Amino acid sequence: MQKLKKSILIIFILVIIIMLVMLFINIKKQDKPIQSNDKEIENTANKERVTEDIEFYSVKECINKFINLSNINNSNYYDIDETGKKIKVIQENEVKQNIYQLLSDKYIKNNNITIDNVFDFIDKFDKQMIFIPTDMYVLRGKNENKYLISGCIEDMGYNKNKDIYMFVNMDNIHNTFSVELMNKENANIDEIPIENEDVEISENENNQYVEPTITDEYIVDQCFNSYKSLILGDSETLYNEYLNDNYKKERFGNYDNFKVFVENKTKEIIKSDVEKYLNSDTDGYICIDNLNNYYVIEREGPLDYKICLDLYTIDLQQFLNKYNAASDQEKVVLNINKIVSAINNKDYNYVYKKLADSFKNNYFKDEESLREYLQNNLYDKIVVEYNEFEREGNIYTYKIRVIKQYGEGEEIPEESNAPSKNMNIVMKLNEGTDFVMSFSLEE
């Protein structure tokens, strides 16, 4: 009987031990993180905004390559015969294959994409398009970086086609890439998670990328092309995010005034291209285009820059250094140069604000009357020659020659001087770089 009781006790103890072990295992299972969710949370937390030029522009080039291959009228898909006629040498099925080769395996699998149905998921273009990035994040892996990008697609006439959100996977070992598009509109890119599978991207005939060579000239061209795309295609974004804050407040005051400026300058902006630039230690890139317009680009990174559209509205440090070291006569010249730039830029508000009160009261009651006078009595664009300079106390007089500047496409008369007029400018220098003036024109 004692043995039976002892056996029952042992069995009871074993059952208790087994139950405790099972309970402990169950608790451990509940405590263990769900791998897919943890991975997503960790990946989202570790994403960072792209700030390096080489990285940013490499991704941008990959997207433009993808968009170009999606253009069924891509020039690479055609040849020219003996008569000069374009002949298509790549058929639509080959175009589909080119696009298919740039899609990630994950994107293909999740959407059941085949070469035949690829245009059900990817936009087909019939003309050249360009991609304008507006934001970019990266989640780095051991062998692959995954990029989250927002931006818009425009045609070569700066007409906006659509906003897009997408992923670009870049294999750092093989210099290959793949893309994944997202079906999103007006999304907050900060809230979109990134999950990097860190997989190898096998090379094919279309998915290699080459890092661009980053030079000052390359950066200036990229910034200027982005500026043109935004001012012509999305001027509100340019005004809110990329115009220098002090500059836009002083120059335009509000977005409505900026819109009028864009409308009046659209044809000129389309024709503009940077011809020269200076990389200034104090002010960033100072640029001049083929139409003699000046720009200042203060830049910290690919999407972190501010732009000014002239050199006279706010004073650059470089100008202040030069002005403070100048003689009074040189200061008058520098101020006249500002007035000339404003006139050429049709910025009559700036000129009007610089007129002496007594002169305005006698001749120009408002800005509109000044605008009308200058447009009727001066040329569309001018340059000046400096002649006689006089000083009486703190009042300076400069006699200058105002000469018509011929624009792009204008026919210059042969064997004759450009039309010109004499102008007298009377100026008073105030504190700092402030000044007031009056003027008179002679034939």
Here the CATH number for the domain that contains residue 154 is 3.10.450
Extract long-range pairs of 430-438: CB within 8 Å, 24+ residues apart: 433/315, 433/319, 433/320, 433/323, 433/335, 435/331, 435/332, 435/335, 435/354, 436/354, 436/355, 436/356, 436/357, 437/335, 437/339, 437/354, 437/355, 437/356, 437/359, 438/355, 438/356, 438/359
Query: Are 378 and 302 contained in the same domain?
Result: no
Residue that terminates a domain, selected from 290, 318, 346? 318
pLDDT of residue 26: 55
Closest by CA to 73, choosing from 93, 90, 51, 97, is: 90
Domain that holds residue 332: 327-407+417-442
Q: Considering its fold, how many domains does the chain have in total?
A: 3
pLDDT of residue 102: 97
d(CA 137, CA 145): 10
84 phi-psi bin (left φ>0, alpha ψ -120 to 50, beta other): left
Angle between helices 317-324 and 328-344 (to 10 degrees): 150
Placement of tokens 């890139």 in the chain:
285
Query: Are 50 and 185 contained in the same domain?
Result: yes
Query: Are 314 and 376 contained in the same domain?
Result: no
Sign, CA torsion 192/197/203/209: positive
Q: Which residues contact 412 (CB under 8 A, 6 or more apart)?
A: 406, 418
Residue 399 domain flag: yes
DSSP string, 269-281: HHH--EEEEEEET
Residue 224 domain flag: yes
Residue 342 domain flag: yes
Query: Are 111 and 167 contained in the same domain?
Result: yes
Please state, as a whole number, how many other Cβ atoms lie within 10 Å of the Cβ of residue 417: 8
pLDDT of residue 74: 87
Residue that terminates a domain, selected from 318, 351, 374? 318
**Tokens encoding 426:** 């009377």
Query: Are 49 and 179 contained in the same domain?
Result: yes
pLDDT of residue 82: 79
Residue 19 domain flag: no
Residue 394 domain flag: yes
Closest by CA to 203, choosing from 102, 353, 306, is: 102
pLDDT of residue 442: 85
Query: Are 349 and 313 contained in the same domain?
Result: no
Query: Are 302 and 338 contained in the same domain?
Result: no
Query: Are 396 and 375 contained in the same domain?
Result: yes
pLDDT of residue 35: 37
**Tokens encoding 434:** 């402030």
**Tokens encoding 271:** 């024709």
Query: Are 384 and 252 contained in the same domain?
Result: no
Residue 27 domain flag: no
- CA torsion angle for 143, 147, 153, 158 (degrees, to 10)? -90
Query: Are 362 and 289 contained in the same domain?
Result: no
Query: What are residue 287's phi and psi, to 5 degrees?
Result: -120, 155
67 phi-psi bin (left φ>0, alpha ψ -120 to 50, beta other): alpha
443 residues of the chain, pLDDT tens digit each: 555 455 555 665 655 666 665 655 554 444 433 333 444 434 556 889 999 999 999 999 999 999 999 998 888 888 887 787 888 888 888 999 999 999 999 999 999 999 999 999 999 999 999 999 999 999 999 999 999 999 999 999 888 888 999 999 999 999 999 999 998 888 889 889 999 988 899 999 999 999 999 999 999 999 999 999 999 988 999 999 999 999 999 999 999 999 999 999 999 999 999 999 999 888 899 999 999 899 999 999 999 999 999 999 999 999 999 999 999 999 999 999 999 999 999 999 999 999 999 999 999 999 999 999 999 999 999 999 999 999 999 999 999 999 998 876 677 776 567 889 999 999 999 999 999 999 999 86
Residue 307 domain flag: yes
Query: Are 300 and 399 contained in the same domain?
Result: no
Residue 54 domain flag: yes
Query: Are 66 and 182 contained in the same domain?
Result: yes
pLDDT of residue 83: 80
Residue that terminates a domain, selected from 295, 318, 341? 318
